[in-house]
Amino acid sequence: MHGARSPLPHRVLSPRRCFARVALVLSSTVALLAAAGPAGAIDLKNDFESLQLREYYVRVGLVKDAATVSVTPEDTFYVHDQRGAVLFSGPGGTKLSFTFHDTRPAKPIYYQLLETFDPNRRDEAEGCAEQARKSLGLEVQVIEDPRQPVAPSAAGGPPPPRRWVAAVGPYTRKADARYISPLIRTEYQPEFFETVEFAAQGWVEARNAAGVVVARAQAYLGIRPERRDARIATADTNSQGASNRPKDGAEKQRRYRGLMEVWVNPSGRLSLVNRVFIEQYLYGVVPPEIGHSDHKEAKKVQAVISRTDVISKLRSRPHAGWPFDVCPQQHCQVYLGADAETEAGCAAVDATWGQVCTYRNDIIKAVYFQCCGGVTANNQDVWVGDPVPYLQGRYDAGASQLSPDLSDSRDLERWVDSSPDCFCSPRNGQTPHYANGRFRWRQTVSAAELAKRLRRAGYININRVLDIRVISRGRSGRVKTVEIVCDSRRPFRVEYDLAVRRALGNLPSTFFVLDRKYDAEKHLTQVVFKGAGSGHGVGLCQAGALRMDELGYNYVDILKHYYQGIDIYRIYR
């Protein structure tokens, strides 16, 4: 039993000092900071003032691709175009439906961004482009910074002036833009950027309940409530673009803070986007991600890593080319809006306001998952890439416990058959509902069913699976490569966590051993997957964090247990 720790061991920096410490990461954060690229500099004064006004936001794609979307503001609202000009206003309770016409799909384009310049430094940007043309022998032009948002500010005013970027391109093929990277890196530190260019953006129309068009604009319409704390309702979605309708046929509504935006998207249809301040976004993330149990420190952990994660995703752009930064599903983080908020969840966000995890002055990739099964994984064993120091596997117990080497299947089988004394073990405390049956699990699958799973995952022309073998594992025991032998094609291999789990039927994890049975011809008839844990296994184990909370660890202790060598910094107040 571990007693409560002393007061928080981390330093909370002033915003100005912290910006200097994390300038490297913030300078490339897209949309959040509207800042310069890797070769640029942050405007500390303006960025700091924006933070003080809490004007940094995230755009959540509630509906990715649809023919029509609808919203119902609960209070007085305004509909405006991209420049912030008000086209219509109405009272709360007015339902608006949005449609499009005269649109064409977007054209993908790719750039290598060289250097970024403030709006009043166009001449310097042109000089940089001219020098790059001569030294690289490539087509270089000055463009408006494509990383900056073009929608009105959160207060309803016009977008900020666009920065200038000296960019190589555009290219219509990603391979061409990637091919020139080695040449450019001899003189610059380029940022590869993927975006879209609309040949014709088309029109968005808003109609009232009577079907009358009340607003119409090119490519975009925004819905801004008059009161900042007002909510806007829209159809609840359990996947982007799919409505979640109850059995009675009624459309379930879910309410959201912030603004709503309707965009013509790259497919020439509509995306519904919730633009919301990051802290308010977290109000709707923490409860669905960590659960509703009474674990105050674990909720603070979730608030910090979710804040860190969304900022990291603003930089990595998992939905590049689309008019939103993150999706509301597990692919990014589960976000259920204002209706999912709880008093305890909001308190955890407020108690950690502005705090993120950093490693050597860079915001980390704060990945997390449900249950590790007793040992976390090395990032390089789960995804392609180099080892990340703070994402190396460890035994999920006290600091003195060393991580076991489970790369040998025989050692792993003994581990899976046992119940090690670790934080996420269900015998050690309350198990969160999402981890029930996940600390240890078993699936029995016939060879015929395994073939069906492979076909559903896209491995076509498979009639019969003759065998399945584990070719390699990481130190934590998680499968890196499996080989499938079948009668209708040559043996093939599937590598790394998500691909393996999907191919084999969305298994809870790759932390498993195989128990196989064969017929007289030594062909596979049945395979038993005996496994541990749920999720990819890298970073923070949510089930373990809840148990550490019960044992008296504070949120900083928990974060530093799962992310080795990190610090906690407050980048804004």
**What pLDDT does 159 receive?**
62
pLDDT bin (cut points 50, 70, 90) of residue 35 is very low
Kindly report, residue by residue over 347-360, the tens digit of the pLDDT: 999 999 999 999 98
> Quick one: average pLDDT of 25-50?
32
Residues sharing a CB contact under 8 Å with residue 198, sequence separation 6 or more, in sequence order: 104, 106, 107, 219, 264
Report residue 405 CA to chain centroid gap.
Answer: 30
Which residue did the predictor score with more confidence, 362 or 298?
298
Longest dimension (CA), the chain: 79
Bigger pLDDT: 50 vs 252: 252
Query: What is the C-alpha to C-alpha distance for residues 12 and 572, in angstroms, rounded to an integer?
Result: 10
State the pairing for strand pair 242-243/86-90.
Answer: unpaired
- Exposure class string for 541-559: b at 16+ Cβ within 10 A, else e: bbbbbbbbbbbebbbbbbb
Render pLDDT for 42-78 as a digit per residue (tens, 0 to 9): 232 343 344 444 457 899 999 999 999 999 999 999 9
Give 89-115 pLDDT, tens digit per residue. 999 999 999 999 887 766 778 888 888
The percent of residues in the chain predicted with pLDDT above 70, rounded, is: 81
Q: Name the 3-class secondary structure at 527.
A: strand
**pLDDT category, 554, cuts 50, 70, 90?**
very high
Is the separation of the CB atoms in 537 and 530 below 8 Å?
Answer: no
Mean pLDDT of 379-391: 91
CATH class assigned to 107-197: alpha beta
Note the pLDDT tens digit of each residue in 481-530: 999 999 877 899 999 999 999 999 999 999 999 999 999 999 999 999 99
With a pLDDT cut of 90, the percent of the chain lying above it is: 54
Return the closest-CA partner of residue 80 out of 220, 271, 207, 257: 220
User: What local confidence, expressed as pLDDT, does residue 163 receive?
Assistant: 84
Hey, where are the domains in the chain? 15-104+201-359, 107-197, 440-532
- What pairing do the DSSP bridges indicate for beta strands 492-495 and 479-486? antiparallel
301: which 2 tokens? 């952990």
Question: What is the helix, strand, coil percentage profile of the chain, to 5?
Answer: 25, 30, 45
Residue-averaged pLDDT of the chain:
82
Residue 397 contacts residue 421 (beta carbons within 8 Å): yes
pLDDT in tens, 132-191: 888 888 889 998 887 765 555 555 556 667 789 999 988 888 888 888 878 887 788 788
pLDDT for 250: 60
pLDDT of residue 108: 77
Query: Is the per-residue pLDDT at 38 higher than 80?
Result: no
Residue 264, pLDDT > 80, answer: yes
pLDDT, residue 429, reads 57
Per-residue model confidence as pLDDT tens digits over 497-506: 999 999 999 9
CB of 358 closer than 8 Å to CB of 456:
no
What strand order describes the sheet that includes 465-473? Answer: 465-473, 479-486, 492-495
Q: What is the pLDDT of residue 239?
A: 42
- Report the relative pairing of strands 540-541 and 368-369 from DSSP bridges: parallel
Residue 7 has pLDDT above 60, yes or no: no
Kind and range of the H or E run holding 257 = none
In the three-class reduction of DSSP (H, G, I as helix; E, B as strand; rest coil), residue 381 is classed as: helix
Distance CA 509, CA 501 (A): 7
Taking the CA atoms of residue 124, residue 125, residue 129 and residue 130 in that order, the dihedral angle to the nearest 10 degrees is: -30
